[in-house]
Amino acid sequence: MEAESRSLAVLNCGELLTLAGPARPRVRDELKELSIIKDGAMLVRDGVIERVGTTEEVRSELGPGNKILDGAGRVVLPGFVDAHTHPVFAGTRVDEFELRTTGTTYEQIAERGGGIRSTVRKTRAASEQELFDGAQRYSSWFLRTGTTTIEAKSGYGLSVEDELKVLRVIRRLGEVHSPAYVPTFLGAHEIPDEYRGKASEYVNLVINEMLPAVAKLGLAEYCDVFCEPKVFDVATSRRILQAARALGLKLRLHADQLSRSGAAELAAEMNAVTADHLERIDNSGIEVLAAARVQPVLLPASVYTLGTGGFAPARKMIDAGLAVVLATDFNPGSSPTPSLPFVLSIACTHMRMTPAETLTATTVNAAYSLGRGNCIGSLEPGKRADFVIHDCRDYREISYFSGIESAEAVFVGGEVVFRRSQTSA
Ligand code: NIG
Ligand code: FE
């Protein structure tokens, strides 16, 4: 019985989006190529994809005792990979959200001591268990929208102890819960209250105490910095990234979000894996990223939420050969959404990406940006069976219908981790 229950055949998938292709991030026209199998099927053994083909092909090879899952003509695709989130925080910023409706800007709120710093105060006051409980709730939100792997940043602790506390929560989330988590240290997210006016002392704390402790405990794979003239300028960001790299961490960077500061060039110079946001990037910045093969991670839900317009120039980036990624930027301030389908809708309507391109940007390209392109992001033999059955017949419906949740059943390693209850027909 044990051996039998470990193999699962998924049959009758109206469209099986395998995303099969070259074993690297996809660029230019490759972003449109989803490698769809009509009436597709997949055989999963011990949590790993063994065979992909048509239903007829896979059915003819089935032995007795295979567990069968009927795709019922639905669209099946790899679990989404969300390559940029800030999911561990206490409280909300719903008061600031309301204030912004009256015209106060995100930057003005931050200058008055709100914004990231207000979440830092609440996060410091919260216990590890409280933060874990809150983040588990958000974990379930990611899953129900079809996301199976999340990059998660610290950055609301901003003291040695509180940053470690947040990173321990991220580690625990990955141990006990699906989706899978990829941890990133973002101690350089903001200058906390007690270091106002002495920013260089805070930078020294990040470099001399936080980073070594994080690296020693193995609590992060990546280091990120909020590179922005009024927060961590290019020279300061460089110092932090150099220290992180020397400790063996890989690099990501919040770049050219609120101003064009040369952060894209810094990402290229430092061989960062990704440069994220890039709403203010220009043509020369795009060329620099292309030459250095830095992957842009675009976060249109934050532009939508801040209501400022100015989406990142995704089309120009695709034309320049960049391996574009889309992510939610889930956080309590600029982007309180865990929904990649919502991001796909914005990317199609405001960035002129095609529905197919948005799916490549949130599966295989996102997986490569997290160093996991060899085990997730596409449905190919040898990869982990992270897949989602969406309640639609045409994959374009995922970005077309907005404000609904199409994910009907979500699987991680071949095990069901979310199933929508059938309350209505
Ligand atoms: O990516 N820009 C910096 N960090 C986040 C916002 C975090 C917050 O507002 O709490 C971002 O948009
Ligand atoms: Fe962010």
Question: Other CB atoms closer than 10 Å to residue 127's CB: what's the count?
Answer: 10
- Identify the pLDDT of residue 5: 53
Residue 345 has pLDDT above 50, yes or no: yes
- Identify the pLDDT of residue 332: 98
What is the distance in A from the centroid of ligand 1 to the CA of 123?
15
- Identify the pLDDT of residue 316: 98
Residue 312 has pLDDT above 60, yes or no: yes
Query: Residue 225, class by beta-carbon neighbours within 10 Å (0-12 exposed, 13-18 middle, 19+ buried)?
Result: buried
Average pLDDT over residues 282-300: 98
What number does the ligand 1 atom closest to the CA of 333 have? 9
CB 123 near ligand 1, within 6 Å: no
Residue among 52, 63, 61 nearest 20 (CA): 52
- Identify the pLDDT of residue 421: 85
Higher pLDDT, 75 or 66: 75
Report yes or no on whether pTM surpasses 0.85.
Answer: yes
Please, what is the average pLDDT of the chain?
Answer: 96
Average pLDDT over residues 279-308: 97
What is the distance in A from the centroid of ligand 2 to the CA of 388?
26
What whole-number percentage of the chain has pLDDT above 90?
95
What number does the ligand 1 atom closest to the CA of 84 have? 1
What lies within 8 Å, CB to CB, of 386 at 6+ separation is 78, 79, 148, 149, 376, 411, 412, 413
Instruction: Catalogue all structural domains in the chain, each as residue range(s) with its CATH number.
Output: 7-78+377-419 (2.30.40.10), 80-369 (3.20.20.140)
Indicate which residue's Cα is closest to atom 5 of ligand 1. Answer: 334
Q: What confidence tens digit (pLDDT) does each residue in 126-170 have? A: 999 999 999 999 999 999 999 999 999 999 999 999 999 999 999
Average pLDDT over residues 251-269: 97
CB 332 near ligand 1, within 6 Å: yes
What is the distance in A from the centroid of ligand 1 to the CA of 114?
12
* C-alpha separations of 74 from 37, 41, 179, 364 in Å: 12, 11, 22, 21
Residue 425 has pLDDT above 50, yes or no: no
Strand partners, 385: none
CB 86 near ligand 1, within 6 Å: yes
| Mutation choice for ligand 1 from 116, 230, 256, CB with most ligand atoms inside 8 A | 116
Q: Is 49 in contact with 379 (CB distance < 8 Å)?
A: yes
Residue among 219, 220, 291, 231 nearest 255 (CA): 231
Residue among 354, 325, 323, 351 nearest 340 (CA): 325
- Identify the pLDDT of residue 154: 98
Average pLDDT over residues 67-83: 98
Please report where in the chains the tokens 């794979």 appear, as a residue: 221
Length of the chain (residues) = 425
What number does the ligand 1 atom closest to the CA of 257 have? 2
CB 115 near ligand 1, within 6 Å: yes
Q: What confidence tens digit (pLDDT) does each residue in 346-385 have? A: 999 999 999 999 999 999 999 999 999 999 999 999 999 9
Indicate which residue's Cα is closest to atom 2 of ligand 1. Answer: 226
Q: What confidence tens digit (pLDDT) does each residue in 11-68 have? A: 999 999 999 999 999 999 999 999 999 999 999 999 999 999 999 999 999 988 889 9
Tokens for 5, please give them.
């229950």
Indicate which residue's Cα is closest to atom 8 of ligand 1. Answer: 333
Q: What confidence tens digit (pLDDT) does each residue in 176-191 have? A: 878 999 999 999 999 9
CB 257 near ligand 1, within 6 Å: yes
What lies within 8 Å, CB to CB, of 308 at 6+ separation is 105, 106
What is the distance in A from the centroid of ligand 1 to the CA of 379?
32
What is the distance in A from the centroid of ligand 1 to the CA of 265?
21
- Identify the pLDDT of residue 198: 97
Please report where in the chains the tokens 């910095």 appear, as a residue: 225
Average pLDDT over residues 398-416: 97
Strand partners, 76: 16, 389
Residue type, 32: K
| Mutation choice for ligand 1 from 331, 335, 337, CB with most ligand atoms inside 8 A | 331
What is the distance in A from the centroid of ligand 1 to the CA of 413?
31
Chain centre distance of CA 44 = 25
- Please write down the HEC assignment for all residues of the chain: CHHHHCEEEEEEEEEEECCCCCCCCCCHHHHHCCCEEEEEEEEEECCEEEEEEEHHHHHHCCCCCCEEEECCCCEEEECEEEEEECCCCCCCCHHHHHHHCCCCCHHHHHHCCCCHHHHHHHHHHCCHHHHHHHHHHHHHHHHHCCEEEEEEECCCCCCHHHHHHHHHHHHHHHHHCCCEEEEEEEEECCCCHHHCCCHHHHHHHHHHHHHHHHHHHCCCCEEEEEECCCCECHHHHHHHHHHHHHCCCEEEEEECCCCCCCHHHHHHHCCCCEEEECCCCCHHHHHHHHHHCCEEEECHHHHHHHCCCCCCCHHHHHHCCCCCEECCCECCCCCCCCCHHHHHHHHHHHHCCCHHHHHHHCCHHHHHHCCCCCCCCCCCCCCECCEEEECCCCCCHHHHCCCCCCEEEEEECCEEEEECCCCCC
Indicate which residue's Cα is closest to atom 1 of ligand 1. Answer: 329
Residue 343 has pLDDT above 80, yes or no: yes
CB 334 near ligand 1, within 6 Å: yes
Residue 2 has pLDDT above 50, yes or no: no
Residue 4 has pLDDT above 60, yes or no: no
Q: Is 148 in contact with 81 (CB distance < 8 Å)?
A: yes
What number does the ligand 1 atom closest to the CA of 335 have? 12
What is the distance in A from the centroid of ligand 2 to the CA of 39?
39
What is the distance in A from the centroid of ligand 1 to the CA of 79?
25
